[in-house]
Chain A
């Protein structure tokens, strides 16, 4: 039982990281109708900037600095790329974000090199024990911060004018524009929020004992099954999907190693993703699309 609880805690902590990344995907998809494959590289930029600033600034300032840099990068990309492709086909948009991912990854390598860096987390390696279960500071911080971020997003989308405008744009761009909403600004807002979430996710994805390395952007893409499982347009779905993926990975590493060459926990999130795509293509919590013909 202790092992189950220990793995469960770590699984929830890792799942919350995936949930934060998945939320970024969802916000961009809802706000700008774009599934941004470069989002993983925004996570990488966030982590690298935090690590670069940490030796020179208090941690909270390093974090803010990283948010400023990453959001600026996202806004530039949105303005130069997405805004010009607004009437392009979904395929063209996806290909454009894939190209953007390659460019941002190369940029990371040019600026910070190919080497690994330290951890980017806000807390160290400390732990507290409850019974026989060890709760790591990084795990507690991940779960606590994620819950706060989710509540903040809830407040933003439910009770602020910008949040309502963003939801209106996501629901129907032409109708939103007819109501005087600046749709272009809403696109930028969605990319900006997603980039800020990427930085929050990055500091927990690279929390002790994990370290910042050039592959962190690829690691972040492990959140894609979470997005698909939960539903491309559902905040609740992103959280549930993230938790499902995190728990499968960590619990599976503990209980499924005797099956499938010890790699079942790696494959299962994708199997689940395919099952959901086949049975419920819009995800467990997503909205079923209705198209008038």
Chain B
């Protein structure tokens, strides 16, 4: 009887503990009079980095995480925030719902906020916990579906904005008119991740005179062959194809197109490109553009100079990647929120959420300043077109601009 009772009680206790993980927020006052929530002491502020360190999009994710970490290193070297060092609490989500839930449960009680949680899959997995625990979180799922989630903020232009602006840019470049229309195609994942991207392109095409949407094929996550999708685009005669794909699928689509003798102009969102694709797609990128919501490592602006200094100091062996820029910007937004919360003498989760409300973040020229507003809105409609350099790096071909088509689509959808 006892042999069965003891393990049963132990398991029961464990389950109870896990169910309670991170649920309650306790607070106390620091020696400096600042109210402190979970993960905050007189010396440190714990910020969660829930991202894909070893799963399917780990290459981009680890670069992004590094950008954020060197931002924290830079701030810590200058004294931190509120005299406290920012400590990244890194947890591997493997871009998997179950792993993300486990990572959140294991670390939530020790985190003041989440500085980044990557991907719709992960966000959907933890959004009930984030709401229940009153956990402020910045989402690297630049997808408008994320905006409406409680306590979740997207501090950069979404991929939909990048794609909509890309449609307008392509039309202008082609001199599209009703008489000489630009035939447009779009390819996305055929699920809740890809649907908003397709919707934004469809709306931008309808709003832009002279653009005719002729094909919108989709693929399933994990597909290994894109002959069907490319054949559809080719048969429809699409002159320009918008890519709402993940980087591996970008390689598959562009490579298959080349093999089938189809060479449209490609316009990708920033999430569809990674510098590592330059080698396998060598010779196929002459007419490939990336619409990016933020600048590149090649920009001559104070923000990029600071990032390069931080990388040289704290991660000298890191290979350059534009996702480091994205991570740096998330670091900027996190630091801005913490500074505001400190100013309000409230480093609790409620304090950070209050600080995020209407927070203005100056990205030092990397992208125009944003206003986080109520957290349910697109923070900026600006993006910029880039070509691909020899090593896969992005090279700007114009200035940041915000198209009316993107704004109209955002307004129509309540963003």
Contact = CB atoms under 8 A, between A and B. Distances in A.
Interface string B18-46: 00000000000000000000000000000
A134 B190 contact: no
B228 A7 contact: yes
Contacts of A219: 222, 224
A116 B248 contact: yes
Given A14-B225, A134-B260, A263 B191 contact: yes
Interface in A92-124: 109, 114-119
A254 B227 contact: yes
Contacts of A208: 255, 259, 280
A253 B229 CA distance: 7
Interface string B52-64: 0111101101100
B381 to A, nearest CB: 29
Interface in B246-275: 247-248, 251-252, 254-256, 258-261, 274
Contacts of A6: 227, 231, 260
Interface residues of B, number: 43
Interface string B219-248: 111111111110110010000000000011
Contacts of A141: none
Contacts of B120: none
A286 interface: no
Interface stretch (A74-82, A177-185, A194-202, A210-218): A210-218
A89 interface: no
Contacts of A7: 227-228, 231
A134 B261 contact: yes
B209 interface: no
B259 A266 contact: no
Contacts of B181: none
Contact of B225 (A10, A117, A125, A215): A10
A58 interface: no
Contacts of A215: 55-56
B238 to A, nearest CB: 16
B251 A210 contact: yes
B320 interface: no
Interface string B186-205: 00001100000000000000
A190 to B, nearest CB: 27
A144 interface: no
Given A116-B247, A125-B255, A211 B280 contact: yes
Interface in A214-240: 214-215, 219, 222
B225 A250 contact: yes
Given A119-B280, A253-B229, A114 B54 contact: yes
18 contacts: A3-B235, A6-B227, A6-B231, A6-B260, A7-B227, A10-B227, A115-B276, A116-B59, A127-B259, A134-B261, A209-B251, A210-B224, A211-B277, A214-B54, A250-B225, A253-B229, A261-B191, A262-B190
